[in-house]
Structure 1
Amino acid sequence: MAITGAGAVGRSIARELIGNGHAVLLIDKDARAVKPERVPDAEWLLADSCELSSLEEARLDRCDVVIAATGDDKVNLVTSLLAKTEFGVPRTVARVNHPNNEWLFTEAWGVDVNVSTPRIMSALVEEAVTVGDLVRLFTFRQGNANLVEMTLPAESPYVGKPTGLIPFPENCALVTILRDGQVYVPDPEQPVEAGDELLFVVPAEGEDALEHLLAPDAHPG
């Protein structure tokens, strides 16, 4: 896979992916950023990812994934679009630096998944301080669904009830239960407890119903 932008973000992603057994090419147009000793197991290329010839040199047609991780939203959009339309890359992931630009990072611009740093940071803050509210953590563009989290309040009518008896909204899936620092795979017979962090994949139109179901006192109506 290829990562455009060899700054702190791009290098961190590269190290993580290499640690998981992936072959990674780091691309940056700034010679000062091309420092192979910082990620010695990656391949490096001094090139402009907005230039078609540079991406041809990078052999993007052989990549399964391209990650546009520069600090410039315009560059990330153009890179994603070229990767998708000119090289047929199966999956593109683009970093969003400015929240006002998030609406542009769609399939129309060749972006399969957008990662908004400001949104993730605000979601993590909300997740840490809220109980009984759904917090949207991630949006799956292709599936029209969101990854959401709720810390189950003590007054929820389903505290102590098995997950299999909770009438979740249609197309809503409970993915994980986080409890006391442990990760639990949901089991229909496993009860939920007050303070559990519940992670769901749910369509946007089902979020209000899910929130009202689990925390009706906080969300009447």
Structure 2
Amino acid sequence: MRILVAGAGRLGTQAAQVLGAADNDVTLLDRDDDRVAALRGRLPVRLEAGDACEPAVLESAGAHTADLVIAATGEDEDNLVISLLAKRQFHVARVVARVNDAENAWLFDHRWGVDAAVPAATPLVSLIEEATSASDTVALLRLSKAGVNVIETTITPRSRAAGRTLADLAVPHGTFVAAVVRDGQPTAPDPGLRLAAGDELLVLSHSATEGEIHAVFQ
């Protein structure tokens, strides 16, 4: 998912960090050059400096191709302008805006291009849920925060795991297959299940790296 987060305050930065770590294509935009400079190299996202209330800045940051825009600045007026531009000028499918002052909450609706409004005190997981409209994404984020790596891998005809059962594979300690998706349908990961090309595996581990997991299945 291509995501643009406007506002590199606490909430915007945390949202960008978590969404970026979940393998989304994230850009974090803020008007404060010093704040942007301080964050460079610390987040798995692109960082851009500029005023998100300016259409040219939004376009340069990728609003014209974004699937989701999160307006998370500390000013309600700015968040409304960003939302309206995102929806009306750039036709972004989903726009989420932070409400800093509860008295302004009534403004944050479709008239201003807002699909979901979240109070400033909203927990990060709740913000992500509103942003993505996907409870499964939230579940994965909670696992990530708990120190559990969620790794996806697909079996190909050349994979060493093709034709072997799950019981035949020596996975690292603390690792297990949570689900096998075959022909678009989830299959119970029974130890006797024989893997085939095209199978998609969801693997959970609190210790193994992505490279170690792929070494087992690929």
Q: Report matched runs for 1:195-206 at 5 Å.
A: none
Q: Higher relative contact order at CA 8 Å, sep ≥6: structure 1 or structure 2? A: 2
Unmatched runs of 5 consecutive residues or more in structure 1: 122-137, 140-221
Per-residue deviation, residues 53-102 of structure 1 (Å, max 9, x unmatched): 11121121110000000111010000000000000000000000110000
The aligned amino acid for 2:97 is A
Q: Which residue of 2 aligns with 1:40?
A: 43
Counterpart check, 1:83 vs 2:125: no
Contact in 2 for aligned 1:5/1:27 (Cα 8 Å): yes
Matched residue SS, 1:24: strand
Q: Which residue of 1 aligns with 2:10?
A: 8
Q: Distance between the aligned counterparts of 2:114 and 2:63, measured in 1?
A: 15
Q: Which residue of 2 aligns with 1:23?
A: 25
How many pairs are equivalent? 124
Unmatched runs of 5 consecutive residues or more in structure 2: 124-128, 131-218
Q: Distance between the aligned counterparts of 2:47 and 2:40, measured in 1?
A: 10
Deviation at 1:38, TM superposition (A): 6.0
Q: Which residue of 2 aligns with 1:115?
A: 118
Deviation at 1:117, TM superposition (A): 2.8
The aligned amino acid for 1:54 is V
Q: Runs in 1 of length 4+ with deviation above 2 angstroms?
A: 35-40
The normalised TM-score by structure 1 is: 0.52
Q: Distance between the aligned counterparts of 1:46 and 1:117, measured in 2?
A: 22
Deviation at 1:21, TM superposition (A): 1.4
Q: Report matched runs for 1:134-213 at 5 Å.
A: none
Counterpart check, 1:64 vs 2:67: yes
Q: Which residue of 1 aligns with 2:147?
A: none
The normalised TM-score by structure 2 is: 0.53
Q: Which residue of 2 aligns with 1:55?
A: 58
Q: Distance between the aligned counterparts of 1:102 and 1:33, measured in 2?
A: 27
Contact in 2 for aligned 1:65/1:92 (Cα 8 Å): yes
Report % sequence identity. Answer: 41
Q: Distance between the aligned counterparts of 1:109 and 1:87, measured in 2?
A: 13
Q: Distance between the aligned counterparts of 1:85 and 1:43, measured in 2?
A: 24
Which residue, 92, 97, 108 being the options, matches 1:94? 97
